A = this chain, B = another copy of it.
Amino acid sequence: MIALAYALLCMLARKPCSGYELTKLLQVFWQAQHSQIYPLLAKLEKEGLVTFELIGQTGKPDKKLYSITDAGTGRLRAWIKEQPPSDILERDEFLIKIYAIGLLDPETGRKLFLERREALLARLARMQEGMKGMEEDEDPPVADIASKQFGRYLLYERRMRLLREEVGWIDWALPLFKPSSARPRPEE
């Protein structure tokens, strides 16, 4: 079973969701399109790892509210323990561009960094919003291991730290650009 299936199961372990909602929530740590998620949910339902209830709505289209089953929880638990740690896949075109930064004039290079900085801060702000929403009147506080939000809280904290650190890296890198080579480098 593919990792995405476990990603869906772990979201449903926190609370029942529609496929639409899962698609949105999943973006934070495992990107996938709805065209991949809907058929996969149907497959998981056939295998008895999730069930759904059809919710009729007025004004909005009807939806299928999926819940995890005991079998689903079992499979997820087993996967977490059995599976050896897979290696991390990261694909970020920005990194390619930085690698090739020597081909650009320093001004274009700096612009690349500044744009990235903006994007990172915007994402950080969004995460802080999400964090706020999470913390509001939770009975077992989110930072408590007993909270249903605990895992999610940990991931939010991680992402925010990494975003801040990347901003720090940019602020470290920017001064390397300007002062030394004000003279434009020879175009090859």
Contact = CB atoms under 8 A, between A and B. Distances in A.
Interface of A: 3, 6-7, 9-11, 13-14, 29-31, 73, 76-77, 80-81, 83, 85-104, 106, 108-109, 112, 115-116, 119, 143-148, 150-152, 154-155, 157-158, 161-162, 164-166, 168-169, 172-173, 176-177, 180-181, 185, 188
Given A73-B188, A92-B89, A181-B145, A99 B169 contact: no
Contacts of A92: 29, 88-90
A162 B27 CA distance: 20
Contacts of A161: 165-166, 168-169
Contact of A169 (B112, B158, B188): B158
Contacts of A14: 99, 102
Contacts of A147: 102
A175 to B, nearest CB: 10
A139 to B, nearest CB: 14
A112 B30 CA distance: 19
B88 A91 contact: yes
